[in-house]
Amino acid sequence: MKKNKLTPGSNMMWEASRIILPEHKELMNYYQKERNRKTKPELAEEEVNIISQQLSESKLSESQITVELFRDFDQNAFKTGIVTKFDTQLRQIKLDLEDEFEYQNR
């Protein structure tokens, strides 16, 4: 006769190991999420210079520019607006997005 976990004589001591504590479940979810994290691409110095030039042109000529915003887990976002301020040291830009202002990391 085949024994299952509820059959008398089964080793009930190990049955409790099937329970997952909330802390363990939280850790498992965290690790699963982290496995899907994307790595931010490193830009070559030439690419950084080109981007800085385009940001300057947008600010000086008050022309619209579209920037791509990196997202760790989701698809990258795109924002279009006029650059009102940018700081290469802090790697931030301020865009005028039709009635709203927004700081974004580049």
pLDDT tens-place string over residues 84-98: 988 878 888 888 886
pLDDT of residue 18 exceeding 80: no
CA distance 73 to 30: 13
CA distance 101 to 13: 61
Predicted confidence band of residue 13 (pLDDT cuts 50, 70, 90):
low
103 versus 70: the higher-pLDDT residue is: 70
22-39: b or e for each residue (b if 16 or more CB lie within 10 Å)? eeeeeeeeeeeeeeeeee
Reported as type and span, the H/E element at residue 56 is helix 45-61
CA distance 28 to 54: 43
27 versus 2: the higher-pLDDT residue is: 27
Predicted confidence band of residue 53 (pLDDT cuts 50, 70, 90):
very high
